[in-house]
Amino acid sequence: MTGNRQLLVDALARAKQRNRAAFIAYMTAGFPTTDYGIAAIQAMLGSGADIVEVGLPHSDPIIDGPVIAAAASIALGGGTRIADVIRTVREAYQVTGKPVLVMSYWNPIDRYGPERFASELAGAGGAGCILPDLPVQESARWRESADRHDLATVFVAAPSTTDERLRELTAAGTGFIYASSLMGVTGARETVSASASALVQRIRAVTDLPVCVGIGISTPAQVAEVAGFPDGVIVGAALVKAVRDAPDAVAGIVKAAELTVELSQATRRPRR
């Protein structure tokens, strides 16, 4: 099986044709367990998510706030390994046929072997990887493996990213560009930073790749506020928190699905 990079491109284009931003949901693999995590991801994809990010749990999640960091700690404490992440991707894709990305720091993939990881991810039907801490200048080895297996490589741009760096990461990236709505770690915020719109405009000045905005977006109102200018809106911590705060794992799956319905409906843009 080859990767599903085109499936990712098509999902973003289809949302645009329907006058809405694509809704991209995140969940940490292995949280609260591998089986329940898979069920939650399948439920979100069945409840309006166009694309899902499967988080590869890491012991030092430098851009993740306390909610996702705690989920990663629980997953690692439960024995979650890369094989479980690949299984999560496979079962999410096989049941829904929708694009599934892995969100990972570079160190676990580097240690596992980029070619091995890319091969297994593509074999599971994965669409690609988001690599927030991999410098573009050091990404050639990964990108060669990703291209060989038809996987997207998504880089993250922040409001502080210089124009020169934006040109570099947009030239190297595929699938879409992940625009961080603010400086700092993931997690809910009271308001959405105004810098997100400016960053999207700067990215679009140097590339035709779709641009998706994430980090700090957690409520339907915030999704609706943002959805007018990017190609996709990403929500992570709020969905992880819905699972965490539920009285049991089954209730957590239901809560994540219900929140996904609300968040995905908020991506519709008003008709002009």
Q: What is the pTM of this model?
A: 0.94
Cα(217)–Cα(205) distance, integer angstroms: 24
Q: Dump pLDDT digits (tens) for 17-32.
A: 999 999 999 999 999 9
With a pLDDT cut of 70, the percent of the chain lying above it is 94
Edge to edge, what strands does the sheet with 177-180 contain?
A: 152-154, 128-130, 100-103, 51-55, 22-28, 232-235, 211-214, 177-180, 156-157
Report how far apart the first and last C-alpha atoms of the chain are (Å, whole number). Answer: 42
**Domains of the chain in sequence order:** 5-265 (3.20.20.70)
What's the token pair of residue 167? 């040109």
115 is catalytic: no
Q: Dump pLDDT digits (tens) for 89-121.
A: 999 999 999 999 999 999 999 999 999 999 999
Which pLDDT value is given to residue 186?
Answer: 47
Mean pLDDT in the chain?
93
Which pLDDT value is given to residue 271?
Answer: 66
What's the token pair of residue 246? 């539920």
Which pLDDT value is given to residue 29?
Answer: 98
Catalytic residue among 50, 53, 150, 168: 53
Catalytic residue among 50, 64, 84, 91: 64
Helix-helix angle 249-265:237-245, to 10 degrees: 150
53 is catalytic: yes
SS (H, E, C) 122-163: HHCCCCEEECCCCCHHHCHHHHHHHHHCCCEEECEECCCCCH
Residue 102 CA: distances (Å) to CA of 46, 194, 207: 18, 28, 23
Q: What is the mean pLDDT of residues 191-214?
A: 88
188 confidence band (pLDDT: 50, 70, 90): very low
More confidently predicted of 124 and 193: 124
More confidently predicted of 68 and 60: 68
Specify the DSSP element, H or E, that contains 265.
helix 249-265
Which pLDDT value is given to residue 96?
Answer: 94
Give ∠ CA 245-252-183 in degrees, rounded to 5. Answer: 60
> Residue 256: is its pLDDT beyond 90?
yes
Nearest partner of 9 among 156, 127, 167, 171, judged by Cα:
127
Give the type of residue at 214.
Answer: G
Q: Dump pLDDT digits (tens) for 74-87.
A: 999 999 999 999 99
Give ∠ CA 125-213-142 in degrees, rounded to 5. Answer: 45
With a pLDDT cut of 90, the percent of the chain lying above it is 88
183 confidence band (pLDDT: 50, 70, 90): very low
